[in-house]
Amino acid sequence: MVTETVTGSALRAVLWDMDGTLLESENLWDIGVRELSEHLGGPMSEETRIATIGSSTPFALATIFDSLGLDRSPEALAEAKSWLYARMAGMFADGLPWRPGAREALGLVRASGLGSVLVTNTERVLCEYALDTLGREHFDHSVCGDEVAAGKPDPAPYLRAAELLGLRPRDCLAVEDSPTGAAAAEAAGCAVLVVPSLVAVPAGPRRVFRETLVGLTAADLTALHALAPV
């Protein structure tokens, strides 16, 4: 399915965020980062938690350290990351619940002949657990947070996803749930379908909104791409 829009771009691929978009894993990250904060010395404020939603691991760790007034030495950050990833790996390995309509939406994109890439700030070691749930057959490629020069909100992950497909970002529809992810996709030049999960996402020039992925159709994908001028 390749449909030209009024802007002259064509929908050729869907680029999927993972945590909070396809999988109900943001709630697990909420447990992990709050426990890490306690492990490092104190409870996490709601302001700090909101700042970490959808962010890269380095940014999240720096935010937590700063909130607790801790020195961000390389050794301390590495130790904190190891602690957090061990905790998250245990939760991810126990299985991950789907977001409503996500499994069907992935199948729809495959059946429509569109490209499909998983684009996540989660690093590869944890993403592999998630792919056991998602199904690797649903994606042409996956781009993880430790495989690009900078994670979301930097556009690098989405630019890399389009590059792997041999496409322009403008020919891709990104699906995101967070302000961080939406900013990254928009900065890359993608149209962005926002399906919020834990936090509200502000409007943007290339953003369209939908409450859920339930009932998504091929016609919806084309229409949503056309509604987000690129």
CA distance 192 to 198: 18
Report how far residue 63's alpha carbon sits from residue 40's, in angstroms, rounded to the nearest whole number: 13
* Domain map (residue ranges) of the chain: 3-24+97-227, 26-93
Residue 229, pLDDT score:
73
- Of 76, 50, 74, 75, nearest to 63 by C-alpha is 50
Higher pLDDT, 89 or 4: 89
What integer pLDDT is reported at residue 192 of this predicted model?
97
pLDDT tens digits, one per residue of 82-132: 999 999 999 888 889 999 999 999 999 999 999 999 999 999 999 999 999
Round to whole Å and give the CA distance between 17 and 20.
Answer: 8
For domain 3-24+97-227, which CATH number applies: 3.30.565.10, 3.40.50.12160, 3.30.43.10, 3.40.50.1000? 3.40.50.1000
In single-letter form, the type of residue at position 79 comes to E
As a whole number of Å, the CA-based R_g of the chain is 17
pLDDT band at 201 (very low <50, low <70, confident <90, very high): very high
CATH 1.10.3470 describes domain 26-93: no
Q: How confident is the model at residue 4 (pLDDT cuts 50, 70, 90)?
A: very low
**Rounded CA gap, 80 and 12, in Å?**
40
Q: What is the pLDDT of residue 25?
A: 87
Quick one: average pLDDT of 208-217?
96
pLDDT grade for 6, boundaries at 50, 70 and 90: very low
Please determine, for residue 208, whether its predicted confidence score (pLDDT) is greater than 50: yes
pLDDT band (50, 70, 90) for residue 169: very high
Closest CA to 80 of 43, 39, 120, 50: 39
Q: For 209-225, what is the mean pLDDT?
A: 95
Q: What is the pLDDT of residue 26?
A: 82
> What is the overall mean pLDDT for the chain?
92
Q: What pLDDT, on the 0 to 100 scale, is given for residue 230?
A: 67
Structure confidence at residue 1 as a pLDDT band (50, 70, 90): very low
Query: 45-64 pLDDT, tens per residue?
Result: 999 988 888 788 899 999 99
